[in-house]
Amino acid sequence: MASSYSSIEETKRILDLLLGSFPGDEDSLPTQVRSRREHVTFKAHRDLPYFPIPLKETETTSALKALEAAAAAALGDLKAGKESTRLITIDHEKTTAFLFQAYLATVGGLGKLDPEVKKLLKDTDLLQAQSDPYRRMSANLYKTKRQGEYYHIHGSLEASTTLSMIGLEPFRPDLGTHEAISRTIETAVMRFTVEQLEEMNAANKQAGVPALKHEDFIKTPHGQVAAKLSPWAVSPLETSSPPSPLPNTGDSRPLSGIKVLELCRIIAGPTITRILGEYGATVLKITSPKLSDVPFFQVDGNMGKHAADLDLKTPEGREAFEKLLDEVDIVVDGYRPGAFDRLGYGPHALSERAAKRGKGIVYINENCFGYEGEWAHRAGWQQIADCVTGVAWEQGRFMGLSEPVVPPFPISDYGTGCMGAVAALIGLLHRTTRGGSWHGKVSLLQYDMLLFKVGLHTDEVQERLRTLMGPGFLALRHDNSVDQISGLALREMRQRFPEFFTREDLTDWWYADKYKADVRAVNPVAEIEGLEIGFQRASRPNGSDDPTWDFSSNGDIHRRVASGLPVS
């Protein structure tokens, strides 16, 4: 049956919706960005969605990518010293690839779901919260004591506290199958009501949440606050610093010479800085050698960056960090709310420091629950936002179930990362033209709220997607793991859309010196007339480099050359 639905036409509608989501707010969405709407073109090989998900993920993120590119184009004009009508092209297949890029990345020819890939990775899973199947399932969705109510416990990257909280041992090597592990943990969770789990969760500072239907979430005090907010916010931190021109680097990368400090782990925060690196920024990721991170996500998330370890709780670490701050332009903070404030490096402290040096900064916060409302202090991850906002319940309904299911792939992470990049580019635009220091705020929850504002796919489109996936995918349930759900969706998509997975322009190939292997990574989404967009170096594990802005040493080799488009 022919479909009347067009992803491209829907993306145009969503772009217009976004342009109307910031009434009178020139700080969060300035005219220099809005005015480029007429220069944006969307294209697609398949004018329909690919993901077996009821929400308009690709269409929404393609609209966000258009705004990202519009902000980058405005910066490109400022750098060139003249206004232009640069054409912007957003490819739906490239956006689709962006939204599950960790599952398309490979190192040494091996992907995220290949068991043998571990031998090529640096082990940053310090507490075995990822490598031990039992401990990994401390971050999953389970039934509770009351029928029809579900709770997503989340042991983050530590696991033991959450398992102990529900009365379980930190390790169970005797449990050899997913079914045995799931049964053991779900039995423990089912001893408690949602209210009891919330109390325990708060007392132990864990990241769990009840799985709420969207209609119930927006009735909560936090949901009522979130429903009134724009998708992101950009506001001034200080206004005394003069305008700061973009560095004159003699190339066509809009962010060349801009120095970015990444203080993040996992996906959403690193995606913000990965995008800034695509536009030419010098990105240095700083992690603590004492904190865990997911090893494979570094293969994709660290593309184009250097990565160094610093312990900011030591005098030596603070001294090295403050040397980096002397030259930084953009800071991206993706940690638990308030973590860097307590260390003395939050947005207000760094803006005061910037004012003293006479050159402002852009500080981007990325978190789970946002910055207003009673849950703003809570920690969280992609699955947490998806469960509390109602995304998981909509996924379950889409699959014909009366239970929530976490959707395949960490799509909310990538969508939030795109919003963070938009906020960072707009903040830099303001610093360049108006001076001062600027504070951007994005959250996983607000990305999910945007999806609901956009609306679900029609019944016709949802039925087509269900039919494409087949009975195996529809047999998944609430307690299947993220990797099980994503792995099965990936396998079905490969079978249904072989032309997508064989498109050479969706991915880039590098020899990554720090991995001693070839790395395949998803290419940038946007094409902007006259600007070069692409990576300047390959990926590396966390802690591979010295904490310095000197990026001159580089053993990486680009296997495929990216090209810029000339201005006509």
* 553 confidence band (pLDDT: 50, 70, 90): confident
User: What pLDDT, in 10s, does the model give residues 103-124?
Assistant: 999 999 999 999 999 999 999 9
**Are 108 and 60 within 8 A, CB to CB?**
no
- 95: confidence class by pLDDT, cuts 50, 70, 90: very high
User: In the chain, what is the straight-line distance between the N-terminal and C-terminal CA atoms, in Å?
Assistant: 42
Model confidence band, residue 563 (pLDDT cutoffs 50, 70, 90)? very low
Give, in order, the Cα–Cα distances in Å from 331 to each of 134, 238, 366, 380: 36, 15, 11, 20
Consecutive H or E run containing 528: strand 526-528
Token pair recorded at residue 568 = 């006509």
pLDDT value of position 66: 98
Q: Which residues of 21-49 are buried (b: 16+ CB within 10 A; e: fewer)?
A: bbeeeebbbbebbeebbebbebebeebbb
pLDDT for 1 beyond 60: no
Please check the confidence at residue 141 and state whether its pLDDT lies above 50: yes
| pLDDT tens digits, 376-417 | 999 999 999 999 999 999 999 999 999 999 999 999 999 999
567: pLDDT strictly greater than 50: no
Check whether 153 has a pLDDT greater than 90.
Answer: yes
Q: Give the residue among 267, 308, 240, 282 at the shortest CA–CA distance from 514.
A: 308
**Residue 181 pLDDT grade (very low, low, confident, very high; cuts 50, 70, 90):** very high
Residue with tokens 């042991």: 155
Structure tokens at 503: 């498109």
Average pLDDT, the chain: 96
Reply yes or no on whether the pLDDT at 566 is more than 90: no
Judge residue 17's burial from the number of C-beta atoms within 10 Å of its C-beta, 0-12 exposed, 13-18 middle, 19 or more buried: middle
Residues 6 or more apart from 356 whose CB is under 8 A from it? Answer: none
Asked if pLDDT for residue 2 goes beyond 70, the answer is no
pLDDT digits (tens, 9 = 90+) for 23-82: 999 999 999 999 999 999 999 999 999 999 999 999 999 999 999 999 999 999 999 999
> What is the value of pTM for the model shown?
0.97
118, 109 Cβ separation under 8 angstroms:
no
| Over residues 225-239, mean pLDDT | 98
Contacts for 464-471 with beta carbons within 8 Å, 24 or more apart? 464/3, 464/48, 465/49, 465/51, 465/52, 465/53, 465/54, 465/398, 466/52, 466/398, 466/399, 466/400, 468/52, 468/492, 468/496, 469/52, 469/496
Amino acid in the structure at residue 291: L
